[in-house]
Structure 1
Amino acid sequence: MRFRNLTRRREIGANSYLLESGKNRVVLDSGMHPKEVGFEALPDFGPLPHDTADSILITHAHHDHIGSLPVLMRKQPNTPVFMTEPTGEITSAMLHNSVNVMTAQREEQSIHEYPLFTHKELDENRAQYIYRDLDRPFELPNTDLRASFHDAGHIMGSAGIMIRQNGNSLFYTGDVNFENQTIARAADFPTKDIDVLVVETTRGTYARPADYSRKAEKERLAALIRDTYDANGSVLIPVFALGKTQEVMLMMHELHEEGLIPEMPLRIGGLGTKVTVLYDHYTDRTRRNYQGFRLLEDVDMLVPPRRRRGGRGQVEYEPKTIYALSSGMMTEGTTSNQFAARFIDNPRNAVAFVGYTDPESPGYRLRVAKSGEKVKLAPDLPPVELQARIESFDLSAHATREQIADYVEKVKPKKLLMVHGEEASQAWFSARFAETLGKDTEILRPNVHEPIDLW
């Protein structure tokens, strides 16, 4: 069994990995790089010849894990795609949205290769989606491999992937969270009989304070909302449409029910609403907190989005309102980015970051900016003087570095492959594991296309 990293660079980006055993080929994830555009945003599928993959397995429906799936399926036209049912249904919604975004980018930014796939193609692809339940092993067609999905606790439907072959085993975590969120419950991962572990390293540079508690972070967020409300301002919470939107909706409901924030409108974006419909659809059929709770019906603060005439319209500003708008990193052209440009010059307002922001993203620039500084949110927008209050809260959907390290040290794999992390993040893990795992575990940081023999 051999492993190849199909990402174009060793960092968080277009996640995709190839397993090869004899003539058998299996692909794990097929993402698109959130900071690149056009063909540069795709994985490099070079080592995977046309129509040779036996299976494609998907961990979860975030863009950096599914964004290039239709392109891969075009190159592998007869290959089944395995995932959990919620992941498959959300994947369809997210990719249809990608077509709309790419079509707009083609016109606005003259990216001539966009869209990379079409709505019709996505509808046809669904015939190759095969859904599998958590913790139920299944055969991969035309191979001697067995696979199973295990709840990753990251977003609805997210799963780590176990691959077994002739007594050997590989476990790929995908994105993982080892503690309960508001909706998502902590990951339920295997710890025994894992020879090779492929692990995410997203938060390797973040050291969580010793006195941290999720409850205290939520109460701190509530205090910010109360202060902003009293000042007649509004709160912008940049969120990802998938996962974080739904977590924040339920968190606001909790805080209001507990009397920690006042009665005030909560507004979410269009894609966030579409994904929330799916969260509500699976409320009784997924492993979660608040089973049976329907966000769109049971969150009293939620204000239904107004129908906009003429397609893409601006979100209107109103005082004493919570705006949970995507994207979480305030990527150029997204709703949160455009709204922030009309929002952060008001000293009554506040921006609350509740998840990861890439160091090169507009969200990160805003997060580290000083009051009075001019912030450039997008190339086509003039710099805006920052007057609003900016706060950050550790409510990430990714496990902390210590939690991931603890898991790895519990598993004690023969080989550890570190992926989905920047150089500095992986360096922290390497230093820790050099002390805790010693010579019993071979620690690897797979370079692009580098063949790594697993067993």
Structure 2
Amino acid sequence: MAQFLPAGSAGEIGASCFYLNIDGTGVVLDSGTHPRKEGICALPQFDLFKDLPVDFGIISHAHQDHLGSLPFLVRRHPYIRLFATPQTRAIAELTLHDAVSILQGQFKDDDPVRPYTHEEIDLLTQSILTRPYGEAFPIEGLRQRSSVPLNATFFDAGHILGSAGILIEQNGSRIFFTGDVNLDAQTLLPGASLPNGTVDVLVLESTLGATDSSTIPSWGVEAGRLAKRANDVLEEGGSILMPVFALGKMQEMLALVWQLMERGRLPRVPVYTGGIGWKINRLYDQYRYAVPRVDGEFELAAVPQENIFKAERVEEFFRKPCIVLASSGMMIEGTMSFKLAKRWLMIKRNAIFTVGYMDPLTPGYRVLMAERGSRIQLTDFEDLQTVKCSIERFRFTAHAKREGLLEVVRRLRPKRVVLVHGDESAVDWMGYSILASFPGTKVHVAETGKVIEI
């Protein structure tokens, strides 16, 4: 029997962190931050396992909601041994350093926790032990009660470069943590790989559990719709702004835009990118032979790109038609996509293409819900402005649809399922559907601070 204790991302998405005690060995799965919170409020509830053994930390992938609080976890547990895929460690080195300056302004002087430093990140990333997909590695802790080996194995999760599901095994008992999983191919990455055979416990993400899959077309169908609408805008002399996350979405959308140009479905207009996304692009290229890819020969470096940060004035983007991929994906205040959106909205021939999820509390959601001719406030402190450009919504998801999540259950046939990483409606749909489709399966809804015996 093992104990599963959520410290974040239970009943919501953000600050993913789960404590697992198996036979006296303490394992922390992920250590993220909450995207809608700042400072100490964005961290998982580490105090929940402060007096319990913490031997290992295993990171599923490098998105901040799964990785961003890792330096704070290591401060609390300096002897913890960390594991990730080689790709996740390489990305973590970039993204954690990039977050240092952002965190400096989020913590108050009287906070009991101080933001981490570049020196801490250097030491942390050097300490991460890497393992490739499919290679089991031992994780026996100092207080493990038996001599029976305890092993973990990474499986490609199909979400972003280096993303992994985590299989933990001991004496024939198997626990599988999906992390963020995607069964369908994107432009660059193929779908996820799952362990062979059955598992005893499945810790399953539920991100799209409440979303009707008929509203999420396949990547191929959505690519065709994007090409058609983009041609309409570009032929009228307009420019297109695509807010994207620097990790994952930028690489997939850049590859898609170039693929459409190569096939003659889009005109060869200038494409602007930049920032940390460029560095992540290089990692996608560097590891293209080391991990599964749709086309292992394709390099993002082969795509002609202009540096978005070298444009002296915003007007440069409007002199001739172009496509701009700018982060953040949710147009968070102060980011390049936020700054550009304010100007894009003012020009009728332009368009903003949203290509991913928009949190309802972000400026990106306000843009997504706006209609041409309406008045919009990007934040509560911004002036109202009239929406003159067109706004188009596309759904290029890197998460499994809810039927895909049920397929994971069907293939692994777990005795128990623990639902995490989803809001209440998503978790409810998944729970009822699993009970209806797989009689006899026990379903647990994760709650922060509540131990589940598994």
Structure 2: runs of 5+ lacking an equivalent: none
Task: Tell me by how many angstroms 1:280 deviates.
Answer: 1.6
Structure 2 contact 9–421 (Cα < 8 Å) conserved: no
Deviates more, 1:22-31 or 1:112-121: 112-121
C-alpha separation in 1, matches of 2:442 and 2:191: 28
Q: Which residue of 1 aligns with 2:83?
A: 82
Over residues 376-422 of structure 1, what are the superposed CA-to-partner deviations in whole Å (9 max), with x where a residue is unaligned?
22344323322221111221111111111122133221110111111
For residues 5 and 174 of structure 1, the distance between their equivalents in structure 2, rounded to whole angstroms, comes to: 14
Matches within 5 A, 1:30-429: 30-49=31-50, 52-103=53-104, 116-142=115-141, 143=144, 144-190=149-195, 192-209=197-214, 212-296=217-301, 298-300=302-304, 302-307=305-310, 317-318=317-318, 319-429=320-430
RMSD: 2.2
Q: Which amino acid aligns with 2:37?
A: E
1:328 alignment partner AA: G
Shift of the 94–256 alpha-carbon distance from structure 1 to 2, 3 Å rule, reads same
Amino acid at match of 1:169: R
Residue by residue over 1:325-357, the C-alpha shift from the partner in whole angstroms, topping out at 9 and shown as x without a partner, is 111122222221221111112221111111122
Cα distance in 2 for partners of 1:446, 1:41 equals 19
How many angstroms apart in 2 are the aligned matches of 1:111 and 1:394?
41
Q: Counterpart of 2:321 in 1: which secondary structure?
A: coil
User: 1:447 is matched with which residue?
Assistant: 447
**Paired residue type of 2:235:** D
Kindly tell me: are residues 123 and 315 of structure 1, through their superposed partners in 2, closer, same or farther at Cα, counting changes over 3 Å? farther
Alignment gaps of 5+ in structure 1? none
Distance 1:225 1:19 in 2: 47
Mean Cα deviation higher: 146-155 or 277-286:
277-286
Deviates more, 1:202-211 or 1:164-173: 202-211
- Shift of the 50–338 alpha-carbon distance from structure 1 to 2, 3 Å rule, reads farther
Amino acid at match of 1:373: S
Deviation of the 1:290 alpha carbon: 2.1
Moved more, 250-259 or 4-13: 4-13
Deviation (angstroms), 1:8? 6.9
> Counterpart of 2:307 in structure 1: which amino acid?
P
Say if 1:345 and 1:388, in contact at 8 Å, map to a contact too: yes
How much does 1:251 deviate?
0.4
> Quick one: structure 1 residues 331 and 304, their matched pair in 2 at CA, closer, same or farther if it must change by over 3 Å?
closer
Give the length in aligned residue pairs: 445
CA displacement, residues 147-181 of structure 1 (integer Å, 9 cap, x when unaligned): 00000000000000001122211100000110111
Moved >6 Å (runs of 4+) = none
Alignment identity in percent? Answer: 36
Alpha-carbon spacing, 1:294–1:21, altered in 2? closer, same or farther (3 Å): same
Counterpart contact for 2:25–2:140, Cα < 8 Å: no
Alpha-carbon shift at residue 430 of structure 1 (Å): 1.8
Q: Larger deviation: 208-217 or 219-228?
A: 208-217
Residue 28 of structure 1, CA deviation: 0.1
CA–CA distance in structure 2, aligned partners of residues 10 and 205 of structure 1: 12
Deviations 1:192-238 (A, max 9, x none): 22000011111122212289442221011011111111121111111
SS in structure 2 of the partner of residue 284 of structure 1: coil
Q: Distance in 1 between matches of 2:189 and 2:169?
A: 27
Cα drift, residue 115 of structure 1: 6.3
Helix, strand or coil for the counterpart of 1:359?
Answer: coil
Q: Is the 8 A contact 1:204 1:421 kept in 2?
A: yes
After superposing the two structures, state which structure 1 stretch, 111-120 or 90-99, moved more.
Answer: 111-120
SS in 1 for 2:209: coil
1:380–1:274 CA distance, 2 compared to 1 (3 A): farther
CA distance in 2, matches of 1:306, 1:360: 27
Name which of structure 1's ranges 257-266 and 143-152 shifts more when overlaid on structure 2. Answer: 143-152
Query: Per the alignment, do residues 362 and 165 of structure 1 end up closer, same or farther by CA in structure 2, a change over 3 Å counting?
Result: same
220-229 or 25-34, which moves further after superposition?
220-229
> For 1:117-165, what per-residue CA distance to the aligned partner results, in whole angstroms no more than 9, with x for missing partners?
1101101112320000101111014354210000000000000000112
Residues 198, 413 of structure 2: 8 Å contact kept? no
2:15 corresponds to: 14
Change (3 A) 1:156 1:299: same
Partners of 2:371 and 2:403 lie apart in 1 by 30
Q: TM-score, normalised by structure 1?
A: 0.93
How far off is 1:252 after superposition? Answer: 0.8
2:89 is paired with a residue whose SS is helix
SS in 1 for 2:344: coil
SS at structure 2 position matched to 1:329: coil
Task: Judge which range, 137-146 or 60-69, deviates more.
Answer: 137-146
Per-residue displacement from partner, 1:268-299 (whole Å, max 9, x unpaired)? 13011121121122122221122132212x11
Q: For residues 391 and 89 of structure 1, do their structure 2 counterparts lie closer, same or farther at Cα, with a shift above 3 Å needed? A: same
State the distance in 2 between where 1:169 and 1:263 align: 50
User: Is the 8 Å Cα contact of residues 241 and 271 (structure 1) preserved in structure 2?
Assistant: yes
